[in-house]
Structure 1
Amino acid sequence: MKLALIEDDLILSDTINDILSAENFDIFSFFSFTNAQDSLFENRFDIIILDVNLPDGNGFDLAKSVRSMGIGTPILFLTSDGSAESVTLGFESGGDDYLKKPFEPSELIARLKNLIRRSFFHTSSSLITLNNDYSFDPFKQQILDTSYQTIPLLSKELEAFKLLLTKRGHIVTYEDFFTELWGYGNDPGFDALRAHIKNLRKRLPSLTIETIRSIGYRFA
């Protein structure tokens, strides 16, 4: 179970590492907004522990950035501020749970296991099968691999894929893409659309997205 720990307090980070290593978590530690952001976009994690106050940014903003990329990994916020306002901001930014410092190790473990259990139950019971390698979660708006890990996509890539999925087996015209992704009357040019389709094919190599010359694309 891969866990991303974003906590700038070195002593607390080491303590959490010791606690969770004993629970067989594979922990990847980060100490800043920037380093964590790059890794969260490039790698897949099963769960994220995120400190709200980081030396170069805000944990709430990092959570929003993660969610904007279509990454639905459960997020547990850590903070010394347990006010109703702070808790509300945490959930509004995309967090799934909130733990106030200081905390008991048993409570941290229990909350993490609950998040994992909820995520697995939801994921396994509501998916649209795409092929043997991928499925789509219509509630979380995510594409998942066979290990229920989210395939990170840019927002336009996800919108393009959803349009292909809703018309699976049928041609989606260039005009349909332009209207859905950029709004009626807006035409960013074919190069922009081709770039998004190219990225979809790269990120989802076993899915077949056919080019229908001079017309559009089709998800077979």
Structure 2
Amino acid sequence: MLARDSAIPARPGAYAWYFDELPPGVPAQGCIVGAFGTLLYVGIAPKLPPSNGRPPSRQHLRQRVRYHFRGNAYGSTLRLTLGCHLAGQLGIELRRVGSRGDRLTFTKSGEALLSEWMAAHARVTYVLDDEPWKLEDELISNEVLPLNIANIAHSPSRGTQTPSTRPADCLVVQPAPLPGLSRVDRRRHRGCGTLDDRDRRSSDSTRR
């Protein structure tokens, strides 16, 4: 899947992530369960074109799925939520990085451990669609997708995630070195992380 001749095409569409092992604290009641495991997350590539005249995204399925697998938590909601739930099990922590401390990742070693876990327990399916944002809206409105935290308010799973299972409560953020703080002040500062950021018709599947 990560090779140049990946079975996942460089085309627009929607993708769905199934897991054969549930991460700690993830509520699975009402989720779709199939041969690949439990469906916990869906996404699309490209995203909905902007309405302000800006150029639309040129990202495609292969790029997006690859990033979810080998990128980092800053650019992947899936990795962010998954890593927060697996933090205790894998011994990883979410930290602020970058000169402004405005990016959240599990550090290089932590992201590598997360990728290994995904390779062992995750499978991704996809379906080609020239306007995948319409399908995404339909799926999020009708299916329980506990790792789609950015869209949780529009999902049937809203209200099923208790304070102990919301990904935001799993964050362990290290002191953020902010401009203007002395070295001593930086040691005392404690940052607060924020989180913004099935298809039964799938045409193929790839073992992660």
- Whether the TM-score (by the shorter chain) exceeds 0.5 is no
> What TM-score range do you get, normalising by the shorter chain?
under 0.3
Q: Given the two structures, how large is their TM-score scaled by the length of structure 1? A: 0.26
With normalisation by structure 2, the TM-score equals 0.27
Tell me which of the two structures has the higher relative contact order, counting C-alpha pairs closer than 8 angstroms and 6 or more residues apart.
Answer: 2
Higher helix fraction (1 or 2): 1
Pick the structure with greater CA Rg. Answer: 1
